[in-house]
Amino acid sequence: MRAWLLRGLVLAVVHAAVQTGEAWVRAGDPTAVGWLRPTALGLLVGVAVLWSGIDGWLGREGRGMVWFFSALVAGPVGGVLGVIGQGVFVDDTGAEALPVAITGGAAFIALLVLVPAGVGLLIGRLVTATRAADSAPATPPTPVSRRTAR
């Protein structure tokens, strides 16, 4: 399985689970929106930052494009799975919610994957560069001897 497809599908499932869980909690306690929304978004962002940070740290080839395609997959798939999850587990959400989930919702999910993935890749590269600088030998360079012409 391609790396971008795996990452996109996993993040789509994570988003759908978070969206369904958030709807379930809101159905039971409508006042929970104040802490619930930032926590739910933080979970998805945290998964994207952590996974892409590991990719950046390991120096995987083509990691930027992998995460770009992952975001493109996670957007619409996560939107559709979120609608299905809400319809099955929470309320009577039906097919009328699909157009919104596939357009605006998909764009939002894609950005929730792409932007944190860029941050994670940057952090991973910085950690690698710092480790490489720390492991470099600390011996000063030897001067080059010059031969004098007679």
Q: Which two tokens stand for residue 84?
A: 């299905």
Q: Domain segments of the chain: what residues? A: 3-29+39-131
Q: What is the pLDDT of residue 28?
A: 86
CA angle 82, 85, 87 (to 5 degrees): 110
Per-residue confidence in pLDDT tens, the chain, 150 aa: 789 999 999 999 999 999 899 889 888 888 877 888 888 889 989 999 999 999 999 988 899 999 999 999 999 999 999 999 998 988 888 888 889 888 898 999 999 999 999 999 999 999 888 877 777 665 665 666 566 555
Q: What is the pLDDT of residue 29?
A: 85
Asked if 75 and 106 count as a contact pair (C-beta separation under 8 A), the reply is: yes
Residue appearing with tokens 């993935």: 117
Q: What is the pLDDT of residue 143?
A: 62
Distances (CA, A) of 98 to 55, 105, 111, 123, 141: 32, 9, 19, 35, 65
